[in-house]
């Protein structure tokens, strides 16, 4: 860590990104327990940062309840027990209100709400990566290719947004939340993501229009996730979620673009790529209407 801190800002960012990227790719490729371990480290670290951010706002979500709930949800994701999801979310929410009841700390409503939001936002949404990685059917042996496509699309979105915004950006995208982001940058990021998904989709064996849809999903929800995390920090008066990752801020800063993208990507792939049942139902619905 001392070696990393001794480097200049760009070198520090690149080295940290390389180390994190290598670990993440390895765990994703291996899947199973390795991927679960990676997710738990990220989720627990991001949750601690989330609680600290909310404390700046004067809210006090329970970190213990959030971590306990995330561990419970992680077990469900690991064992692929979809039938227990509703039970788990109900149980975790009840525990949250019991904590508020016995903790007795103001503001009660905000503390309960931010605790539930915490384990959903920091935990349950990212855990969908386990589901996406383990998807399979007769055509695709696993969801690994789609996980790679998603990560590539988000990274290309960030790159495209940066360069297009830097050279072409004139119109602010969300001046109150993130004044440096522009509409031109957002469009540039979307184009880069779609091109990347078309290339990877070709090697995965995916048709072009599904690749385009995936590119749009990843770039839209990636940018929304980034803006939402910026909104939380700005509302709380915090610049970075933490300093755990030299050159990148905190875990929440580094993963914000994936938080919304992962679950939307999973449900799209599950219902429209790995099975055509829902596509047929939609087509039959339109046939009935028209």
Averaged pLDDT in 10-residue chunks for the chain of 290 residues? 54 77 91 95 95 93 96 94 92 93 85 96 96 91 94 95 89 83 93 97 94 97 94 88 74 92 96 77 67
Same domain, 182 and 281: yes
Same domain, 129 and 140: no
- The torsion region of residue 237 among left (phi > 0), alpha (psi -120 to 50) and beta comes to left
Note whether 32 and 39 are within 8 A (CB): no
- Domain end position, chosen among 116, 133, 150: 133
- Bridge partners (DSSP) of residue 182 are 172
How many whole angstroms separate alpha carbon 20 and alpha carbon 251? 11
> 27 Cβ partners below 8 Å, 6+ apart?
34, 35, 37, 38
Q: For residue 4, what pLDDT is reported?
A: 47
Note whether 189 and 157 are within 8 A (CB): yes
CB atoms within 10 A of CB 227: 18
- Domain end position, chosen among 133, 150, 179: 133
Same domain, 193 and 96: no
Residue 24 counted as domain residue: no
Same domain, 162 and 241: yes
Grouping H, G, I as helix, E, B as strand and the rest as coil, residue 171 is coil
Same domain, 157 and 84: no
How many whole angstroms separate alpha carbon 176 and alpha carbon 237? 13
Q: How many domains does the chain have?
A: 2
Same domain, 110 and 185: no
Residue 3 counted as domain residue: no
Show the tokens assigned to 92: 């975790």
Residue 167 counted as domain residue: yes
Residue 22 counted as domain residue: no
Residue 197 counted as domain residue: yes
Note whether 181 and 173 are within 8 A (CB): yes
Same domain, 129 and 144: no
> 129 Cβ partners below 8 Å, 6+ apart?
28, 35, 39, 147, 262, 266
Same domain, 174 and 119: no
Domain that holds residue 65: 31-133
How many whole angstroms separate alpha carbon 256 and alpha carbon 278? 30
How many whole angstroms separate alpha carbon 87 and alpha carbon 62? 20
Same domain, 187 and 150: yes
How many whole angstroms separate alpha carbon 39 and alpha carbon 35? 6
Residue 278 counted as domain residue: yes
Note whether 114 and 162 are within 8 A (CB): no
Same domain, 204 and 270: yes
Residue 19 counted as domain residue: no
Same domain, 183 and 123: no
Q: Angle 251-259/144-168 helices, nearest 10 degrees?
A: 110
Same domain, 70 and 42: yes
Residue 208 counted as domain residue: yes
User: Phi/psi of residue 118, each to 5°?
Assistant: -65, -50
Q: For residue 247, what pLDDT is reported?
A: 64
Cis before residue 37, ω within 30 degrees of 0? no
- Domain end position, chosen among 133, 162, 186: 133
How many whole angstroms separate alpha carbon 242 and alpha carbon 250? 4
Residues in the chain: 290
User: Phi/psi of residue 276, each to 5°?
Assistant: -105, 10
């Amino acid at each position: 860590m001392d070696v990393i801190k001794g480097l200049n800002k760009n070198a520090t960012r690149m080295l940290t990104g390389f180390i994190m990227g290598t670990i993440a790719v390895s765990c994703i490729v291996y899947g199973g327990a390795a991927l679960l371990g990676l997710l738990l480290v990220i989720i627990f670290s991001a949750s601690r940062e989330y609680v600290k951010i909310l404390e700046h706002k004067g809210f006090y979500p329970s970190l213990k309840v959030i971590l306990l709930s995330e561990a419970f949800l992680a077990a469900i994701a690991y064992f692929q027990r979809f039938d227990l999801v509703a039970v788990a979310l109900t149980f975790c929410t009840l525990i949250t209100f019991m904590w508020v009841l016995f903790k007795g700390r103001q503001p009660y409503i905000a503390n309960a709400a931010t605790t539930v939001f915490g384990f959903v936002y920091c935990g349950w949404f990212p855990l969908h990566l386990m589901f996406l990685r383990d998807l399979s059917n007769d055509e695709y042996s696993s969801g690994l290719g789609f996980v790679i496509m998603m990560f590539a699309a988000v990274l290309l979105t960030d790159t495209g947004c940066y360069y297009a915004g830097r050279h072409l950006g004139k119109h602010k995208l969300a001046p109150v939340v993130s004044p440096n982001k522009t509409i031109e940058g957002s469009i540039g990021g979307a184009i880069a993501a779609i091109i990347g998904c078309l290339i990877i989709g070709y090697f995965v064996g995916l048709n072009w229009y599904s690749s385009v849809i995936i590119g749009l999903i990843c770039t839209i929800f990636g940018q929304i996730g980034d803006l939402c995390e910026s909104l939380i920090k700005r509302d709380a008066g915090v610049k970075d979620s933490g300093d755990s990752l030299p050159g990148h801020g905190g875990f929440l800063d580094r993963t914000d673009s994936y938080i919304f993208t992962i679950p939307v990507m999973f449900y799209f792939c599950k219902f429209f790529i790995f099975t055509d049942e829902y596509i047929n139902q939609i087509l039959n619905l339109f046939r009935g209407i028209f």
